[in-house]
Structure 1
């Protein structure tokens, strides 16, 4: 197996996403939807641009993703103060239920990954990944 950093990061991401989607397969969620549910769980009522930045999803791709989530009843779009140019995205009751299931799947997969690391190693891994995020983008917009 290739042990270069770029390869390992790509593989871990891919394997993590596959495991999460397999865990959530009974819900019929597609790639990208768990990430949006996670983000909205922390930032309910965000505008589409904020979601795109926070999830690192292309805005055009996000539009289709949100349309499918709205069709499934997980989100609703609302205009605030009569501003018809930008809609705020809110989780519905079903969306909140799905968000909780997504968080449980994330936690299960994280626990599997971290099970062989002691608390200090876990903290160092998190610190290192945060450093990577800061190097790769304007980290403030991801919070």
Structure 2
């Protein structure tokens, strides 16, 4: 097997990058009293209030049961509230409470800190290129999951 030493396995690079980024976020969010799963839901809701749990699951790459338990815990802790959709009372939408908005603002601050660490040494062009390339990698992997990849 001929392996190009200059190109490392992307799976491993993504895994290592995620692990370091996740640990940095967890250290900050745990110190802020948040439990696993809550920061990414808060981050999503900061920009998409009134979405459904299904929307949260898709955006946060969480399965249905995980979203249900995380949102229920967040509701118990006063971070979110669920409201029936006016057009279809069977569908609940999720909104931040004031306490949830404050927690979401802290999560966004933590995200900015971790991003600043990750972006060190990369200029604006490199950041834009990396972001674009990662979007393409994500699209490829999603297409594979959905069975639409060639």
Give the Cα separation in 2 of the matches to 1:17 and 1:9.
12
Q: Which has the higher contact order (CA 8 A, sep 6+)?
A: 1
Q: Shift of residue 137 of structure 1?
A: 2.0
Q: Runs ≥4 in structure 1, deviation > 3 angstroms?
A: none
User: What is the Cα-based RMSD across aligned positions, in Å?
Assistant: 1.3
Give the Cα separation in 2 of the matches to 1:97 and 1:104.
11
Give the Cα separation in 2 of the matches to 1:116 and 1:96.
32
Q: Shift of residue 100 of structure 1?
A: 0.6
TM-score by length of 1: 0.89
Give the Cα separation in 2 of the matches to 1:72 and 1:25.
15
Unpaired stretches in structure 1, ≥5 consecutive residues: 139-143
Range 69-78 or range 20-29, more displaced: 20-29
Q: What does residue 70 of structure 1 align with?
A: 75
Q: What does residue 37 of structure 1 align with?
A: 42
TM-score by length of 2: 0.85
Contact 2:80 2:94 in 1 (8 A): yes
Q: Shift of residue 87 of structure 1?
A: 0.5
Q: Larger Cα Rg: Structure 1 or Structure 2?
A: 2
* 3-state DSSP of counterpart to 1:24: helix
Q: What does residue 94 of structure 2 align with?
A: 89
Contact 2:29 2:35 in 1 (8 A): no
Q: Shift of residue 76 of structure 1?
A: 0.2
Unpaired stretches in structure 2, ≥5 consecutive residues: 1-7, 144-150
